[in-house]
Structure formats: C-alpha cells, structure tokens
Chains A and B, each alone.
Chain A
C-alpha cells in the first residue's frame, strides 16, 4: 500500500535557533518539503548601514553566540579589502589560531551535545549524560579548551572584544599563550579518543551526489582565505561570488536560499571541506579520518559527525603548530584612512563559507552591507536531502521517520538562530 503522510515538527530541538519543517508525502512521494527558517543576518544588514566601519566586526559578532569569530573575521577581512590593508605574519597566524578555537568549541558542542544523542537513540544530551557521563564530561572539557583559546586571544569567548579591522587591539604575549600548549597536546589525544568513540556509532546508509563548495588555499586546509572551488569545476576569487551564486526568496522562509546560477543547490561546511581539501590536512587529522573510517568521496551527510571530529583534530593540530612558533608582533594592528570603496571577505565558519560585502564612504561610514551565512546556503540542500531520504525510509513509523528527518537536518548543524528559537517539523502523510 502506498504511503501518504504529513511530517510536522513544531519544535526541532538541538539546532541553533528557530525554524520549522513541513513534509508532505503522497503515494510514497515527497510532494512538499519546506524548511522554514527565520534568519536575522538580514536585520543586521540594515542595522549596519550608517555605522562606522570599525564597529562592524563587533556588531556582526552578535549575529551568533556560537560562531562570532566567523562573522568578525569575514567582516574584518572585507573592510581590510576595502581599505587596502594586508594582515600577515604573526597577526595572520593569531587570527587562524582564534578561529581554530571556534572550530573546536563549535564542532565539539555539536558532535557531543547535539548530534551524538541521535545516533545513540537518546532524546537529548541529558539522557546521554546518564549513560555516558565520561564521554559527555570529556566533550565539555574539549569544548572548554576551544573556548579558552578564544578567551585568551579574544578577551572573552562569547563575542570576543579584542578583534578589530587590521588585526587585534592587543596581541597576546608568548607567556600568555604558552600554558595552552600542554592543554592542546592533551586535547589532541582526547580528540583522537573521541573520534574512536564516534566511529562506533551506527550511521544510517544514505548517499547524495552533492556539489561541494569550499574555500581553497594552495598550502593550507581552508579557514581564513582562499578561492571558492567546487567539485563541478567552480574556481573563482571570492570577489566573483555574486556573479556565480544567487539568492532566491522563497515564501516559507525569511532566509534567502542560495544556488549556483549555472546549476542548482550546493553544500558548504565540513563535508565539503573534507572532500575538496583532504590533501591539505595534517597527518594527525588523516589518521583520525582512518580511525573514523572515512576518506574523500564521503557523500553520506550522516557521516558529517565523523568529519567534524576529524576537523576538531585538525584545528587542535593547527593551533599547536601556531602556538609553538608564535612571537608577539611589534604592531597589534595595521590601519589607514578610509576612502569610498567596497570590500569583500569570506572565511570558513564551522558550518561553511560565510561571505560578506560592505561599501563605505570617505568618512568610513557603511553605506551597504550584505552577509551570506552558511546555513542559508545549505537550506535548499537540507530540503533536497529530505526529498531523497524519505522515500528510502517509508517503512519507518511516523515517529521514527520524523526523528530521522530531524537527525538529517542536524547533519548540517544548522545555525538558524543566529538568534531565533524554534524549528517546527510537520510530516504530512495523507
């Protein structure tokens, strides 16, 4: 007998923010699938106009409590591009270092507290903590390491205050950073152990033929800079983003949905970076990938939890490399006088590329702002995943199918919030 069903989750838990999911199934086919999200970056774009360029990194940091660095870095980089400033040497390393802190805390939070419960059959991290207190405690300790890295460099971990256009208000001394080295060495071992634990999770079978998009740098696993590349031939400077990508308004969401003009939807984030830039991972992270049983060509979105664990190892390894060679720079920042111009910035937030464009006038006042966050770029790909996943799982009960849909949404660690508060899922089988 053919299945008709409506899946509706009014409050989709364990995602950052507010949204709803509505899925309608008729005759075993998904006839409607809408991820409804409210996305505040648009509010910030209006809010930023009329502000001085130097305020922008601090204001955009408030878009998200989980990934403030992503917004600060992309906005700083855009302003530096507008002003013709170059941030290099130890200042560039410091930026990469604080960004590693954000990757660690964001990935560990999602992996242990938000996503692992799905694979273990728990409703939430509270249930998981009852049965796996040691793993949860380890996750919290690893996450704290990421937070402490951000606090030491950024001044405080939530909405760091030390970052500014051109560098930092104050660069930390070698002595301030030195105590982190031993803790990060511990963290590397712990993250390897965590990867081993996660490799034992039962991962649903499911593959999708994605177009992956990530930054690509000639020598480094991408964090702060690079060209935009894809597995279908895209290879452009970040300045050409708007020539190749477009944002479409859909009725059911206040977020714009992104697509590649020449083709269609695409995926950004850990799975894209891993598949496109695997060769640039350090040995430790490649070893972690082996432990996790994944390699490039990994097209199962449910395995993103393993990729996040591999990227956590990478971020710790990279942080250690930078810390060991760090010498306090003579100057904490570079600066110049503003003049009328436009600048573009793009960095790899934990969830994928975060693209910014700003125009400023001769007084340095922002006249236009555009922010394209990772979750809006993944939004239509999440819907497409569900369209492909549901027909392969029709034998599941409504409750189990709903759970699987939620789990599939959580594969993306969607940061819908950046200040909103509900994800509602509606599953409709007629």
Chain B
C-alpha cells in the first residue's frame, strides 16, 4: 500500500458462525488479491484491537452487523468524525465490543488518524461454515471497494 503506507485492514469474525465470518472472508479475499497490504483476520476480543491499530495511520475494520437492515446491506462509518453507537457491529462475539474498543481508545487518545468501519448486514448467525446468499454478494462488493481503497 504505497499511498497509505501505514494502513491496516482488520477483518473480524467467527469462522464457525455463518454470516459472522464475513469480516474474515473479506480479509482472506483481499489477501489473495494483494500481497502488499497489511491485512489481519481477527477473532478475539475488542480490547486487543486497540493494540492492533497502534502504529498505523489508517485502519479499516470489516465486521458483520445485525441492525435489522436488508441482509447484505453494507454500512459505512467514519469513526474519527463520529462516535460509534454501541449498536454498530452489535453482533459481536465478545463482551468487549468493537464499538467499545473504539470509544475507550478515543478517551485514552489511542485512535489512529483515520478509521473506516464497514459493517455487512448478516442474516444467519447459526453454527455453520457457509455465508448466506446476500452476504456472499456483499463480500464481492466490499472486496472491490477495498481494493480500490488500497490504490487511492
């Protein structure tokens, strides 16, 4: 990533919970298309995320959402410009959520300069390895978007 030398993309999810794996799937796809982008597939707690963005200017986080929107809807949020509602990424595997990590980091002054959140609306979060059809389609949309983001 030349122009945004200090950018990291973090895909979050649980690979065994169907649509919850979307963040991981996006990260894996991006990795297969580009080997010079810093990409992390992450399945742990929110608190550790703060360590993952230390030292980077720009962070992109991709995770599943369950907000009641149409499945496959892609939500985007600029986390530096606005507070992240606790309901964003509310389908979180962990007690300490992504939104909480970002807001705690804001208060202890550990946010990067830029932070883009991409939430993909899921519909099936049962144990399983497959994405639902609308989420599978959104996967392609987000990968294409982030590949061009990479070149921006």
CB-defined contacts of A147 to chain B, threshold 8 Å: 48, 51
Q: Is B149 in the interface zone, CB < 8 Å from A?
A: no
Among A13, A62, A125, the residue within 8 A (CB) of B104 is A125
CA distance A375 to B30 in the complex (A): 37
- A-B Cβ contacts below 8 A, count: 91
Majority secondary structure of chain B interface residues (helix, strand, loop or mixed): loop
Least CB distance from A388 to B in Å reads 25
Whose C-beta in chain A lies nearest to the C-beta of B44? Answer: A158
A130 touching B107, Cβ below 8 Å: yes
Q: Is A389 in the interface zone, CB < 8 Å from B?
A: no
B73-81, B90-98, B136-144: which lies at the A interface?
A: B90-98
CB-defined contacts of A17 to chain B, threshold 8 Å: 93-95
Whose C-beta in chain A lies nearest to the C-beta of B128? Answer: A43
B93 touching A43, Cβ below 8 Å: no
CB-defined contacts of A421 to chain B, threshold 8 Å: 91-93, 125
CA distance A114 to B92 in the complex (A): 15
B108 touching A136, Cβ below 8 Å: yes
Among B95, B108, B125, the residue within 8 A (CB) of A137 is B108
Among A129, A144, A159, the residue within 8 A (CB) of B107 is A129
Least CB distance from A203 to B in Å reads 21
CA distance A114 to B96 in the complex (A): 7
- Size category of the B interface is 20 to 34
Q: Is A293 in the interface zone, CB < 8 Å from B?
A: no
Least CB distance from A382 to B in Å reads 15
B94 touching A144, Cβ below 8 Å: no
Q: Is B17 in the interface zone, CB < 8 Å from A?
A: yes
CB-defined contacts of A137 to chain B, threshold 8 Å: 108, 110
A-B residue pairs in contact (CB < 8 Å), sample of 27: A13-B95, A14-B95, A16-B95, A17-B95, A43-B127, A65-B14, A65-B44, A65-B45, A65-B94, A66-B44, A66-B94, A109-B45, A109-B95, A126-B103, A126-B104, A129-B104, A129-B107, A133-B109, A143-B47, A143-B48, A157-B44, A157-B48, A158-B42, A158-B44, A417-B93, A419-B127, A421-B92
Give the A-binding residues of B (Cβ under 8 A). Answer: 14-17, 42-45, 47-48, 50-51, 86, 91-96, 100, 103-104, 107-110, 125, 127
Give the B-binding residues of A (Cβ under 8 A). Answer: 13-17, 40, 43, 47, 62, 65-66, 105, 109-110, 113-114, 124-126, 129-130, 133, 136-137, 140, 143-144, 147, 157-159, 417, 419, 421
